[in-house]
């Protein structure tokens, strides 16, 4: 209040840029500094390709977080999708055309089940999706008999692995980057341009007020979980393309997705969240991992850094919110 | 995690929520006895066998007692699993086979727990970081530091300390009596001390508790310290049981998520302010009974995992379904 007017203006304008973009820009500058090859299309396209599954997952997770819940089941959903696809395609390249819709259906179904458990059995989403995580991991093991065998046919791996060559300007575009742009565009449009998005924000902010205002709270919540499940299935299809079949492909992705959404300023327990910013958070997280890789730091250090960043991001967000009084 | 609705308080003689954990426990026990009789394996119904079932979940029980305290103040602790690994390794490295180092090792482990608890508590109450994120971050930090130094069994636990896990007093294992003593102390703290009632107040409504003159920050920090020290004790127990410290012991046992599940099955509400130790103990018994049922019924280990996930959700739904509040 006692500040000079110009500093007050600056203060008021600053929070309008989401800090995740500043963080991302700083990280990218650091990566370019470490490895000048990053400005070449091979550099940044491969980066985007690697970041695509996490970014898609974060775009779905942000719906659930904004609606006030958590979705811990996406990591094991990814595992289930990868293992299940390898069992269903059974090395038959033509099977891809029906396996992919089936997998997307499984994603939507798991999401719907999560949502229904939360809404009608009144189990807090933390426990409901935790139970789902344990269950899906078990199902993936049961389905594959413990050791997944076979490999995914090339038609299935198309989405995760193939490139479109001879594109002007960037030379090539990985299919996964196109999937990323389409999915994120769709999720961002649903969240920020439609009534569904407004309802998701409303039930996260104050579910009682939202219900009194005529929002179909349960339907919106189930939809949010379904979108998260769908994003998990898509991420699983992409990861199956890069990484191949194993029973731990999805391990840890649920926490990374939550971290990404939180880095993007999504408010845990609901009411605030942005799809583009969550994707920015996912890119920033991947950039941090890339940077640590360049620095030659071992896996344990990556964990410590991820932990510190997570705490710092939320502490900073809380500090900003206290200052801006929102 | 949920917003209370202004529902008028119902006055009934029988409070379902209060008895739900006991009903579940009796149900689990009846199923256990039923399966044992149906499969003609009456040898599983002996007293010794029941004690053995309990003995398998002592580490989970100790961790869950601590977890009850943080969940009561509407916080949560996801760092217990990696803290268990860290303290098990620390204690066994400090002891390194020499009985003279037992006391320093125990002190070091408890001190590590205290430091982690204070840090968790300060980050949650001072920096206002969501407890889920704060303790998750802490868990990553501990696990990262630990695996930077140790990748296999480290140190050795002397015979004298293995008494903690293997000693027996009459028909009861020493560790089981220790768990029971901890539960009684925790119950007494919650029931009879000012700190206990302050905890319920802070968990029920932090703002109101502050206006009532309770130093809410201090309560949150203290409950996190209790939780982390309990995890440290669980780490000591596991080190004594395995005779050495392993850096994967906590994450292998999924003690973070399982202890939360045990607490919630025991009727303590994730939103804080309601619940208690006996519910948690019932939750622990339910968990170990379920495991034993699977064992004697010969369920395939993957199917076991599927059923376990379903049971956790179903058990919570069992009493949550009656609540009129909107949960998320």
A265 touching B (Cβ < 8 Å): no
How does the average pLDDT of chain B come out, rounded?
A: 87
Q: Does A113 touch chain B (CB under 8 A)?
A: no
Q: What's the confidence (pLDDT) of residue A35?
A: 86
Chain B residues in contact with A269 (beta carbon < 8 A): 1, 130, 328
> Of the candidates A208, A217, A311, which has its C-beta nearest B123's C-beta?
A311
Q: If you average pLDDT over residues B70-74, what whole number do you get?
A: 94
Tell me: pLDDT of B149 over 70: yes
Q: What is the pLDDT of residue A68?
A: 92
How many Cβ atoms sit within 10 Å of the Cβ of residue B55? Answer: 17
CA A21 to CA A281: how far, in whole Å?
Answer: 8
Mutate to test the interface with A, among B135, B137, B269, B321 (most CBs of A within 10 A): B137
Would you place residue A93 in the very low, low, confident or very high pLDDT band (cuts 50, 70, 90)? Answer: confident
A2 pLDDT above the threshold of 50: no
Cβ pair B144:A304 closer than 8 A: yes
pLDDT value for B315: 80
Q: Which of A197, A211, A230 is nearest to A114 (CA)?
A: A230
Q: Which two tokens stand for residue A128?
A: 């409901």
Asked if A146 is an interface residue toward chain B (Cβ–Cβ < 8 A), one would say yes
Judged against a pLDDT cut of 80, whether residue A322 lies above it is answered with no
Of B140, B303, B325, the CB nearest to A306: B140
pLDDT of A5:
47
User: How far, in Å, CA of A72 to CA of B78, rounded?
Assistant: 13
Tokens describing residue A31 = 């990566």
Which residue in B146, B313, B326 is closest to A127 by CB distance? B313
Q: CB-CB: which of B147, B303, B328 is closest to A67?
A: B328
Which range, of A16-25, A123-132, B231-240, averages the lowest pLDDT? Answer: A16-25
Q: Please give, rounded to a whole number of angstroms, the shortest distance from the CA of A261 to a CA of chain B.
A: 12
Reported confidence tier of residue A113, pLDDT bands at 50, 70, 90: very high
Better-predicted residue by pLDDT, A11 or A215: A215
Assess whether pLDDT exceeds 80 at residue A169: no
- CB under 8 Å to B224, separation ≥6 — which residues? B70, B75, B77, B117, B118, B120, B121, B124
Evaluate whether B136 touches B103 at the Cβ level (below 8 Å): no
Q: A117 φ, ψ to 5°?
A: -60, -45
Task: Say whether A314 and B133 touch across the interface (CB within 8 A).
Answer: yes
Identify all chain B residues contacting A208, using CB atoms and an 8 Å cutoff: 3, 5, 326
Q: What percent of chain A has pLDDT over 70?
A: 94
Q: Could you say which residues from 1 to 40 on chain A have a Cβ atom under 8 Å away from some Cβ of chain B?
A: none
Q: Where are the domains of chain B?
A: 18-27+41-291
Whether A55 contacts A230, CB under 8 Å? no
B192-243 pLDDT, tens digit each: 999 999 999 999 999 999 999 999 999 999 999 999 999 999 999 999 988 8
Residues B179, A134, B263: CA angle, nearest 5 degrees: 30
- Least confident among A87-96, B77-86, B96-105: A87-96
Q: Mind listing the pLDDT tens digit for each residue in A136-145?
A: 999 998 888 8
Q: What is the pLDDT of residue A312?
A: 87
Q: What is the pLDDT of residue A211?
A: 92
Least confident of A243-247, B62-66, B120-124, B200-204: A243-247
Comparing CB atoms, the residue among B130, B312, B328 nearest residue A125 is B328
CB contact under 8 A, B147 and A303: yes
Residue A90, SS3? coil
Average pLDDT, chain A: 86
**A4 within domain boundaries:** no
Three-state SS string across chain B, please? CEECCCCCCCCCCCCHHHHHHHHHHHHHHHHHHHHHHHCCCHHHHCHHHHHHHHHCCHHHHHHHHHHHHHHHCCCCCCCHHHHHHHHHHHHHHHHCCCHHHHHHHHHHHHHHHHHHHHHHHHHHHCCCCCHHHHHHHHHHHHHHHHHHHCCCCECCCCHHHHHHHHCEECCEEHHHHHHHHHHHHHHHHHHHCHHHHHHHHHHHCHHHHHHCCCCHHHHHHHHHHHHHHHHHHHHHHHHHHHCCECCCHHHHCCHHHHHHHHHHHCCCCCCCCCCCHHHHHHHHHHHHHHHHHHHHHCCCHHHHHHHHHHHHHHHHHHHHCCCCCEEC
Q: pLDDT: is B63 or A270 the higher one? A: B63
Residue of A nearest to B132 (CA): A268
Chain A residues within an 8 Å CB radius of B136: 255, 307, 310
For residue B142, the chain A residue with the least C-alpha distance is A304
A107 to chain B, closest Cα gap in Å: 17
Residue A258: CB atoms within 10 Å: 28
Instruction: Give the chain A residue nearest B321 (alpha carbons).
Output: A121
Closest CA to A205 of A65, A50, A37, A62: A65
**Best residue of B3, B140, B317 to probe chain A, by most A CBs closer than 10 Å:** B140
Please judge whether A125 and B303 are an interchain contact, meaning their C-beta atoms are less than 8 angstroms apart.
no
Tell me the per-residue pLDDT of B269-315, one tens digit each, with 9 for 90 and over: 888 888 889 999 999 998 888 888 888 888 888 888 888 888 888 88
Q: Cα–Cα distance between A55 and A279 in angstroms, integer?
A: 5
A217 CB neighbours in chain B (<8 A) are 326
Give the helix/strand (H/E) hosting A164.
strand A163-167
Chain centroid, CA A271 distance in Å: 18
Contacts of A47 (CB under 8 A, 6+ apart): A31, A38, A286, A287, A290
pLDDT for residue A14 is more than 60:
no
Enumerate residues 6+ apart whose C-beta is below 8 A from B60. Answer: B234, B253, B255, B258, B259, B262, B284, B287, B288
Residue A214 C-alpha, separation from nearest chain B C-alpha, in angstroms: 15
**C-alpha dihedral, A282 to A288 to A289 to A290, nearest 10°:** 110
The helix/strand/coil state of A171 is strand
Mean pLDDT of B254-263: 87
Cβ atoms B259, B271 nearer than 8 A: no
In the numeric block, which tokens belong to residue B236? 């000591």
d(CA A60, CA A54): 10
b/e burial code for range A71-91 (CB count within 10 A of at least 16 → b) = bbbbbbbbbbbbbbbbbbbee
Residue among A67, A300, A302 with most chain B CBs within 10 A, to mutate? A300
* Domain around A165: 18-324
Least confident of A54-68, A295-309, B50-64, B239-253: A295-309
| A136 in contact with B, Cβ within 8 Å | yes
Higher pLDDT, B46 or A122: A122
CB A86 within 8 A of CB A95: no
- The answer on pLDDT for B3 being more than 80 is no
pLDDT tier at B120, thresholds 50, 70, 90: very high
Please tell me the predicted confidence (pLDDT) of residue A306: 80
The CATH number assigned to the domain holding A292 equals 1.10.3470
- Chain-chain contact of A141 with B305 (C-beta, under 8 angstroms): yes
Whether A11 is in a domain gets the answer no
C-alpha to C-alpha distance for B208 and B124, rounded to whole angstroms: 18
Nearest to A142 among B143, B261, B306 (CB): B306
User: Could you report the per-residue pLDDT of B5-55, keeping only the tens digit for each?
Assistant: 444 455 556 677 777 888 888 988 898 888 888 888 777 778 888 888 887
The ipTM is 0.82
Q: In terms of C-beta density within 10 A (0-12 exposed, 13-18 middle, 19 or more buried), how is residue A156 classed?
A: buried
Q: How many residues does chain A have?
A: 326
The set of long-range contacts for B311-315, using a CB threshold of 8 Å and a minimum separation of 24, is B312/A127, B312/A130, B312/A131, B312/A134, B312/B261, B312/B265, B313/A117, B313/A121, B313/A123, B313/A127, B313/A128, B313/A131, B313/A132, B315/B24, B315/B265, B315/B286
- Asked if B74 and B132 count as a contact pair (C-beta separation under 8 A), the reply is no
pLDDT digits (tens, 9 = 90+) for A179-216: 999 999 999 999 999 999 999 999 999 999 999 999 99
Instruction: Flag whether A13 is in a domain.
Output: no
A285-319 pLDDT, tens digit per residue, is 999 888 888 888 777 887 888 888 888 888 887 88
Domain count, chain A: 1
Could you tell me how many CB contacts below 8 A there are between chain A and chain B? 173
Q: What does the pLDDT look like over B153-194, one tens digit per residue?
A: 888 888 888 888 888 888 888 999 999 999 999 999 999 999
What is the pLDDT, as a whole number, of residue B87?
95
| Residue B243 CB partners (closer than 8 Å, separation 6+) | B156, B157, B162
Q: For residue A150, give Cα distances in angstroms to A12, A89, A95, A101, B147.
A: 58, 9, 14, 20, 33
Highest mean pLDDT among A45-49, B62-66, B241-245: B62-66
- Residues of chain B positioned with their CB less than 8 A from the CB of A118: 327-328
Decide if pLDDT at A149 tops 60: yes
User: Cα–Cα distance between A221 and B270 in angstroms, integer?
Assistant: 19
State the average pLDDT over residues B68-78: 93
Q: Enumerate helices (H) and strands (E) in chain A, giving the number of each.
A: 14, 2
Q: Bridge-partner residues for A171, per DSSP?
A: A167
Secondary structure class of A296 (helix, strand, coil): coil
Q: Collect all residues with Cβ–Cβ distance below 8 Å to B111 and sequence separation of at least 6.
A: none
Q: Which residues contact A241 (CB under 8 A, 6 or more apart)?
A: A152, A156, A157, A158, A159, A160, A161, A176
């Amino acid at each position: 209040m006692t500040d000079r007017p110009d500093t007050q203006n600056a203060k008021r304008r600053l929070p309008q840029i989401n800090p995740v973009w500043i963080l991302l820009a700083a990280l990218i500058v650091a990566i370019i500094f470490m490895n000048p090859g990053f400005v070449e299309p091979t550099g940044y396209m491969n980066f985007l390709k690697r970041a695509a599954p996490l970014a898609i997952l974060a775009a779905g997770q942000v719906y659930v977080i904004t609606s006030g819940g958590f979705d811990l089941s996406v990591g094991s959903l990814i595992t289930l999708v990868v293992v299940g696809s390898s069992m269903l395609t059974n090395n038959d390249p033509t099977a891809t055309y029906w396996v992919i819709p089936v997998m997307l259906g499984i994603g939507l179904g798991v999401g719907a089940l999560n949502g229904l458990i939360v809404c009608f059995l009144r189990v807090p989403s933390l426990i409901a999706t935790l139970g789902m995580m344990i269950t899906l991991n078990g199902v993936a093991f049961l389905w594959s008999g413990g050791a997944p065998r076979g490999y995914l046919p090339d038609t299935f791996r198309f989405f995760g692995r193939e490139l479109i060559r001879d594109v002007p300007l960037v030379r090539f575009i990985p299919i996964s980057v196109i999937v990323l742009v389409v999915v994120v565009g769709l999720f961002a449009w649903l969240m920020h341009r439609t009534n569904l998005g407004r309802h998701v924000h409303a039930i996260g902010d104050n579910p009682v007020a939202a219900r009194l205002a005529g929002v179909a709270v349960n339907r919106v919540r189930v939809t949010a979980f379904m979108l998260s499940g769908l994003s998990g299935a898509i991420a699983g299809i992409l990861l199956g393309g890069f990484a191949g079949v194993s029973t731990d492909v999805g391990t840890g992705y649920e926490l990374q997705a939550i971290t990404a959404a939180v880095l993007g300023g999504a408010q845990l327990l609901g009411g605030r969240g942005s799809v583009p910013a969550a994707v920015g958070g996912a890119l920033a997280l991947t950039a941090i991992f890339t940077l640590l890789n360049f620095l030659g730091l071992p896996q344990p250090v990556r964990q410590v850094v991820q932990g510190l960043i997570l705490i710092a991001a939320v502490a900073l967000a809380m500090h900003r919110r206290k200052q801006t009084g929102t | 995690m949920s917003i209370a609705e202004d529902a008028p308080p119902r006055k009934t003689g029988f409070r379902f929520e209060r008895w739900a954990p006991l009903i579940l426990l009796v149900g689990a026990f009846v199923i256990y006895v039923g399966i044992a009789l149906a499969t003609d394996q009456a040898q599983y119904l002996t007293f010794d066998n029941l004690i053995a079932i309990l003995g398998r979940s002592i580490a989970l029980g100790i961790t869950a007692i601590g977890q009850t305290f943080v969940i009561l103040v509407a916080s949560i602790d996801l760092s217990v699993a990696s803290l268990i690994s860290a303290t098990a390794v620390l204690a066994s490295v400090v002891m390194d086979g020499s009985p003279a180092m037992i006391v320093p090792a125990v002190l070091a482990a408890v001190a590590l727990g205290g430091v982690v608890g204070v840090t968790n508590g300060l980050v949650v109450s001072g920096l206002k970081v969501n407890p889920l994120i704060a303790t998750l971050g802490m868990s990553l930090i501990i696990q990262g530091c630990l695996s930077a130094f140790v990748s296999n069994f480290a140190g050795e636990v002397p015979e004298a300390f293995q008494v903690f896990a293997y000693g027996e007093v009459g028909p009861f294992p020493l560790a089981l009596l220790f768990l029971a003593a901890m539960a009684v102390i925790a119950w007494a703290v919650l029931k009879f001390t000012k700190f206990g009632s302050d905890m319920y107040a802070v968990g029920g409504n932090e703002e109101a508790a502050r206006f009532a003159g309770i130093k809410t920050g201090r309560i949150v920090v203290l409950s996190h310290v209790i939780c982390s020290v309990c995890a440290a004790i669980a780490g000591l127990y596991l080190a004594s049981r395995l005779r050495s410290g392993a850096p994967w012991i906590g994450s292998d046992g999924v003690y973070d998520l399982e202890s939360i599940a045990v607490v919630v099955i025991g009727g303590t509400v994730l939103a804080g302010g309601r619940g208690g130790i006996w519910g948690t103990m019932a939750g622990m018994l339910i968990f170990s009974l379920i495991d034993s049922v699977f064992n004697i019924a010969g369920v395939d280990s993957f199917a076991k995992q599927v059923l376990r996930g379903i049971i956790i959700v179903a058990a919570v739904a069992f009493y949550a379904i009656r609540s009129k509040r909107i949960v998320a």
